[in-house]
């Protein structure tokens, strides 16, 4: 789709350009899965399910106590398998039906609730719980079983599988593709993220300096809320479907 207005909207604040063309990037965080019963990271006082994040989400923590870390992610994987998408995930899947390649969901979440809701254009910048990564050969097989009992890698046979999640101190996935999409979008929307982990927290600034309109949908204003053109507060399962109805209506006018 061609771009009509580089800010993706009229200067009066409308989110859609005159000919309805729009490229949209939606950045999601733990808050979008909260109403599916998947716990967020920072809402419980810096602890993640009762664990210090440094112990279970760093390469150093894994080197110190691999068994603890594997069991921790095994439990998270089982919880995600039992969770189901909520109206916010489903609304983004509906939006993709309208926008197709003009919508990219960039998620920091390691669950697969976007995909199970029907979204196909999803980038998991922090990896995926339902995938393992072999530290010997780099193979990344789909994985729904526990890893704590050190199963062999299906590719090389070594017992060196770890969860395919990005830990602090490691480089997130697909950064070039994300930066390209963010810098070329007309509308950047952030959903359910505290804005405290970079590079994701920096995407609003990249979008804004590239000329996009920016919107935050979060339970409370995030740490980077002041950088957005508009901030709406409330639960994602209410805010996201309402925003998608609004946007789809404007696009089809
Ligand atoms: P956080 O736990 O830091 O933030 C969750 C955000 O969601 C907060 O701002 C909450 O106010 C908001 N929230 C909670 N419930 C909500 C609801 N029902 N509807 C809307 N918003 C809600 O999670 P993230 O920002 O995703 O990284 O954390 C970013 C990264 O830090 C994670 O991907 C993970 C973590 O350490 C890695 O593992 C590398």
Ligand 1 mutation target, pool 42, 54, 240, most atoms within 8 A of CB: 42
pLDDT band for 173, please (50, 70, 90 cuts). Answer: very high
Angle subtended by helix axes 236-251 and 87-99, to nearest 10: 20
Burial of 63 (0-12, 13-18, 19+ CB in 10 A): exposed
Rounded to two decimals, the pTM is 0.92
Per-residue pLDDT, 2: 34
Distance 136 CA to ligand 1 centre (A): 31
Asked whether the predicted pLDDT for residue 130 surpasses 70, the reply is yes
Rounded Cα distance, 28 and 121, in Å:
13
Q: Is residue 142 helix, strand or coil?
A: strand
CB 221 within 8 Å of CB 205:
no
Per-residue pLDDT, 14: 52
Asked whether the predicted pLDDT for residue 190 surpasses 50, the reply is yes
Mean pLDDT of the chain, nearest integer: 91
Asked whether the predicted pLDDT for residue 224 surpasses 60, the reply is yes
DSSP one-letter string for 84-135: ---HHHHHHHHHHHHHGGGEEEEE---S-HHHHHT--SEEETTEEEEEEEET
Distance 40 CA to ligand 1 centre (A): 5
**pLDDT tens column, 19-65:** 557 999 999 999 999 999 998 887 765 556 678 888 999 999 999 99
Stronger pLDDT, 51 or 4, i.e. the higher one: 51
> Is the minimum distance from the CB of 61 to ligand 1 under 6 angstroms?
no
Asked whether the predicted pLDDT for residue 194 surpasses 70, the reply is yes
> Is the minimum distance from the CB of 238 to ligand 1 under 6 angstroms?
no
pLDDT band for 11, please (50, 70, 90 cuts). Answer: very low
Q: Which atom of ligand 1 approaches the CA of 40 most closely?
A: 2
> Is the minimum distance from the CB of 219 to ligand 1 under 6 angstroms?
yes
Ligand 1 mutation target, pool 36, 219, 231, 233, most atoms within 8 A of CB: 219
> Is the minimum distance from the CB of 223 to ligand 1 under 6 angstroms?
no
Residue whose CA is at the smallest distance from ligand 1 atom 30 = 197
> Is the minimum distance from the CB of 126 to ligand 1 under 6 angstroms?
yes
34: its two tokens: 């909260």
Which of the residues are catalytic? 126
**pLDDT tens column, 75-129:** 999 999 999 999 999 999 999 999 999 999 999 999 999 999 999 999 999 999 9
Q: Which atom of ligand 1 approaches the CA of 109 most closely?
A: 33
> Is the minimum distance from the CB of 231 to ligand 1 under 6 angstroms?
no
Mean pLDDT of 214-237: 98
Asked whether the predicted pLDDT for residue 5 surpasses 60, the reply is no
């Amino acid at each position: 789709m061609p771009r009509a207005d580089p800010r993706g909207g009229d200067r009066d604040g409308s989110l859609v350009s005159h000919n309805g063309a729009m490229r949209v990037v939606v950045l999601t965080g733990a808050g979008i899965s909260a109403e599916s019963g998947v716990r967020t990271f920072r809402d419980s006082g810096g602890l993640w399910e009762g664990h210090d994040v440094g112990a279970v989400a760093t390469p150093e923590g894994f080197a110190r106590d691999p068994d603890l870390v594997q069991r921790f992610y095994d439990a998270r994987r089982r919880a995600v398998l039992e969770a189901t998408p909520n109206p916010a995930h489903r609304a983004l899947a509906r939006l993709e039906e309208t926008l197709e390649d003009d919508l990219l969901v960039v998620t920091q979440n390691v669950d697969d609730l976007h995909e199970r809701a029907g979204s196909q254009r999803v980038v998991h910048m922090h990896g995926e719980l339902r995938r393992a990564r072999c530290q010997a050969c780099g193979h990344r097989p789909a994985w729904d079983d526990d890893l704590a009992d050190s199963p062999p890698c299906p590719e090389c046979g070594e017992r060196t599988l770890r969860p395919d999640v990005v830990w602090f101190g490691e480089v997130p996935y697909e950064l070039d593709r994300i930066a390209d999409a963010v810098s070329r979008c007309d509308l950047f929307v952030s959903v359910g993220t505290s804005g405290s982990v970079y590079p994701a927290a920096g995407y609003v600034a990249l979008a804004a300096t590239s000329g996009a309109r920016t919107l935050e949908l979060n339970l409370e204003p995030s740490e980077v809320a002041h950088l957005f053109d508009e901030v709406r507060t409330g639960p994602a399962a209410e805010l996201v479907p309402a925003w998608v109805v609004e946007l789809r209506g404007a696009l089809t006018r």
